[in-house]
Structure 1
């Protein structure tokens, strides 16, 4: 009866099918005559310049009686519109473009035919509110810089540990070589005694060697004087 009063072509069989599908026939007819406005939840998206925008859209829909049976509901409309908002903002070079022309979102989303396969016909999509969120690009860059810094510190610590290990190896090598020198020096008196016994070293040769050693020690003491200053006994 309501459909006939509204000049809607709704046959009894179609109305019965709508009722069997669990839909309210009267409500469907009313929404077909008086469109309904549904509001999306807060949708956040990031423009190409890294700035996050948060938008809320109001969607004006009316019932499509031909697709009411088997058609998707309001949740599908909201999901598709939200996806369209994210896609439109994400494809914008700057968040300022969206703020200057919020109707750009409406036009792009509305042109995608998001009501296909649903029980509704989208009449209009209006952006109710657009707010600027966080600078996601700067946050990501800061996080990347922090990660790079940690990697650099880890590599520096690795190089420092390697240098310390190499230094310890060199110290051990020097100690080993000094031990060999001491060991070799300990063999000198034995070799001299052996030379005396075999007649290969005479007494004069021995004294000449001692004179050379004494002369060498004297030269070393002159070349490396004691740098310590003597304290004044008078204070």
Structure 2
């Protein structure tokens, strides 16, 4: 009798545990299953033991699968990026934007960009839709550049630089500040070589072309589109 009682107690505890697990993870598993996301029920249990937010992983897997970018993105890879401190949902959204824009960006590269401290989604969006940065940056306290032509006349200049992200050089590439500094230096040098300030005022596009030809975006995280 005591043996039967103990066995019944053990079975009861096991049944209760199974019910709790199904209650906690059953809905997530069904969501993944019906969305064809490659996530197994046992993987969800493993996530709980490793203190991984299973809902975040499932939702990311579903997003990737439905957008057509999740063929090689397994639960293990998503979990590994999560455990490394990465922003899993943001990486997946970046991959979706890149996929729709036909950009060359895979999951490993996106994760590396994210773990390097760069905003991978913003980087992809800027690659698709170039942004404009001011030169000089007014946040630094200066609103114009100062340059002197050969005839001794000083000009005050402000430039607007259109850039798009260079995803291949985003890790380790120089930031916006470098672009602003290089463009500013290039403009000052070009104006300084002009015979007269009238040449600059009448043909400002010559200054822009001269600066663009210098390849000032080399080793930076951006590609200069126009000045």
TM range (shorter): 0.5 to 0.7
* Structure 1 consecutive aligned stretches of length 4 or more whose deviation exceeds 4 Å: none
Alignment partner, residue 213 of structure 2: 111
Greater relative contact order (CA < 8 Å, ≥ 6 in sequence): 1
Q: What's the counterpart of residue 155 of structure 1?
A: none
1:21 corresponds to 2:123: no
Q: For the residues of structure 1 that align with 2:172 and 2:184, how far apart are their CA atoms?
A: 22
Which shifted more, 74-83 or 37-46? 37-46
TM-score by length of 1: 0.52
- Residues 1:70 and 2:165 are matched in the alignment: no
Comparing 4-13 with 83-92, greater Cα deviation is found at 4-13
Where do 5+ consecutive residues of structure 2 fail to align?
1-95, 137-143
Q: Classify the secondary structure of the residue corresponding to 1:66.
A: helix
TM-superposed CA distance for 1:8, in Å, is 1.1
Matched residue count:
125
Correspondent of 1:99 among 160, 185, 201: 201
Judging by fraction of residues, say which structure has more strand: 1
TM superposition shift of 1:71:
0.3
CA distance in 2, matches of 1:56, 1:11: 38
Q: CA deviation at 1:16?
A: 0.8
RMSD: 0.7
Q: Which has the larger radius of gyration?
A: 1
Deviation at 1:5, TM superposition (A): 1.5
Match of 1:30 in 2: 125
Distance 1:107 1:9 in 2: 29
Cα separation, 2, equivalents of 1:59 and 1:48: 25
TM normalised by structure 2 equals: 0.54
